[in-house]
Structure 1
Amino acid sequence: MANDALNLNPPNATLHISTHGSDWLWAAFSIFAASLLVMIALDFLRPRGTRLFHQIAIIILTTGSLAYFSMASDLGATPIPVEFRGDGGHPTRQIWYVRYIQWFITFPLLLLEVLLTTGLSLSDILTTLFMAVTLVITGLVGALIPSTYKWGFFTFGAAALFYIWYVLLLHGSQTTFAANGIFRRSYVLASSYVAFMLLTYPICWALSEGSNVITPTSEMIWYGILDVIAGPVFLFFFVFQVNRVDYSTFGFASGKFTAPVSGSYSKAGEAGISA
């Protein structure tokens, strides 16, 4: 399948993924797609009104599946001249903007999945999600810039990442948890996991899109492993932890007329997140 993809969609840069890289991307796509189907099944097994965490996970896995299908098909990249290692002319490198579209959607949702279990105010959560968006956008803009100025955007992204770490590891863990403190230990494990995973992405960026030290195929393998661990692996761990807690203790309710009851519609209470 990899040979067919690269033949039908020829690489558009001097430095591009190999058939082995495409093979790995198809494997990663299969993991995301299979995880999506399982998560959908788990979602239907939950009672209505208790599916928030599962449905956020479904959005993340759907986005990841689409992104990896595109990358495995050698679609969604643009050639950018490399800053370093320009021996033998001015080579270009595939920069996968479709990956950043994926992260633009999934990184904030991944943080939302975790932070909704805390007692953080809505304003704190929204600011943290904005910093996740900033992290992704600065990574994309930096990757598309062929000059040294890309490292300026890398620095802005690092600053946003420090803020996310602060909220995940310090501010979030010190709040009064919505689930009466029952979920605090699981949150500490989940937030530490996410914080560590977010540390590894800038390292890969610096060695691939940034300095062109590793090949596009190595980049794909590295990012793919990180996405699988931060996506399907983490999400199944997290929803398993959530399932162990009575959903009502989180204080969530839709506030909408949704479920028909005896010919009429019942209205749920207001959501338990403060602004």
Structure 2
Amino acid sequence: MELVVRENNAIVVNGNTVNGRTADIAITSHGSDFYFAICAAMAFAGFCFIGLAFRKERRERLFHYITAAVVFVAAIAYFTMGANLGFTPIEVEYSRSNAKVAGTFRSIYYVRYIDWFITTPLLLLDLLLTAGMPWPTISWVILVDWIMIITGLIGALVTSSYKWGYFAFGCLALVYIVYQLVWEARLHARAYGRDVERSFVMCGSLTTILWILYPVAWGLSEGGNVIAPDSEAVFYGVLDFLAKPIFGALLIWGHRDIDPARLGLVIKDYDGDALIHEKRTSVSHISDIN
């Protein structure tokens, strides 16, 4: 009996023609395979984080849930890209002679930016809550992060050299976020103890290094049309794998002995809520009388 190997035919089923235009610079089955592999890794990490959450009391699961949400959203985005969906053909600014990037229209995956619009604020929330940062600061940093993501998307969809103006706006936003992570948030985390500072520095440093590389990936792919879409898949995929599942594993490990209440996150479970307990007692008392 011969073993039948099922081939990935996503590129055939979901072609490169969208909105009346065909992307002649697009992923191959190799790029699709890689996207699906990262999808599987994200989903596996998500179930691991949820499984670890059930080993904690409900009031101590905040970071598990946030981190699991990050990788589950990313898994959906990577499934979409692996299926050769969630993109639109955009005319390139720079025509290249290299056969791998020669052509007129390049696949731009807007679903990647939808993913980032949801997941990067959650990653920042993980970090800034770990540092015990005040909510007004957290809200402001998340707003700046959204500016970074949206300007990156607009720049990717622009066909002229004006795309680099949006790229510059996004880089300025990134500089501010990096400043918060390497300076203000780090100093804030120090005040909560050595274990909190260690957890923040470990995860914050990883995030800072990786996020600085994302504009490089953008400039070589959506911006400059230098590397092929398959190489783009690997570049972004490796960054996302390190920035999400690996980050999440380090964060949850770092929080293993940290009570969220130490960080100002006093979360009451209903078993310990005095008001609900009082209501239950009253109901029980009435039942006894009847």
* TM-score, normalising length: structure 2: 0.86
Cα displacement (A) at 1:50: 0.7
Q: 1:3 aligns with which of 5, 8, 13?
A: 8
Other-structure match for 2:60: 50
What CA distance in whole angstroms lies between the structure 1 residues aligned with 2:213 and 2:79?
A: 23
Deviations for 1:116-136, whole angstroms, at most 9, x for unmatched residues?
Answer: 012322111111111111111
Q: 2:133 aligns with which of 113, 117, 120?
A: 120
Deviations for 1:207-251, whole angstroms, at most 9, x for unmatched residues?
Answer: 100010001111011100100000101101111001132333223
Contact 1:2 1:22 in 2 (8 A): no
Contact 1:81 1:93 in 2 (8 A): yes
Q: Do structure 1's residue 96 and structure 2's residue 109 form an aligned pair?
A: yes
Cα displacement (A) at 1:180: 4.0
Q: Do structure 1's residue 234 and structure 2's residue 247 form an aligned pair?
A: yes
**After the TM superposition, which parts of structure 1 deviate over 3 Å for at least 4 consecutive aligned residues?**
86-90, 176-182, 260-264
Map 1:171-250 to 2 at 5 A.
171-175=184-188, 177=190, 179-250=192-263
Residue identity matched to 2:62: L
Q: Please say which of residues 143-152 and 188-197 is displaced more in the overlay.
A: 188-197
Other-structure match for 2:30: 20
* Distance verdict in 2 for CA 1:176–1:67, change over 3 Å: closer
Contact 1:60 1:110 in 2 (8 A): yes
Across the aligned residues of Structure 1 and Structure 2, the Cα RMSD in angstroms comes to 2.2
Contact 1:119 1:177 in 2 (8 A): no
* Distance verdict in 2 for CA 1:266–1:205, change over 3 Å: farther
Contact 2:32 2:84 in 1 (8 A): yes
Q: Do structure 1's residue 157 and structure 2's residue 138 form an aligned pair?
A: no
Cα displacement (A) at 1:264: 6.5
What CA distance in whole angstroms lies between the structure 2 residues aligned with 1:116 and 1:77?
A: 34
Q: Whose helix proportion is higher, 1 or 2?
A: 2
What CA distance in whole angstroms lies between the structure 1 residues aligned with 2:106 and 2:42?
A: 26
Say which SS state the counterpart of residue 183 (structure 1) adopts.
helix
Other-structure match for 2:79: 69
Q: Do structure 1's residue 34 and structure 2's residue 44 form an aligned pair?
A: yes
Give unmatched runs, 5+ long, in structure 2.
1-5, 18-22, 279-290
Cα displacement (A) at 1:179: 3.5
* Distance verdict in 2 for CA 1:28–1:125, change over 3 Å: same
Deviations for 1:47-102, whole angstroms, at most 9, x for unmatched residues?
Answer: 11111100101110110111011111111000000000166996100000000000
Residue identity matched to 1:19: S
Say which SS state the counterpart of residue 41 (structure 1) adopts.
helix
Paired residues in the alignment total 265
Other-structure match for 2:157: 144
Other-structure match for 1:135: 148
Larger radius of gyration: 2
What CA distance in whole angstroms lies between the structure 2 residues aligned with 1:173 and 1:127?
A: 17
Other-structure match for 2:89: 79
What CA distance in whole angstroms lies between the structure 1 residues aligned with 2:217 and 2:133?
A: 31
Cα displacement (A) at 1:193: 1.1
Residue identity matched to 1:228: F
Cα displacement (A) at 1:189: 1.9
What CA distance in whole angstroms lies between the structure 2 residues aligned with 1:2 and 1:196?
A: 36
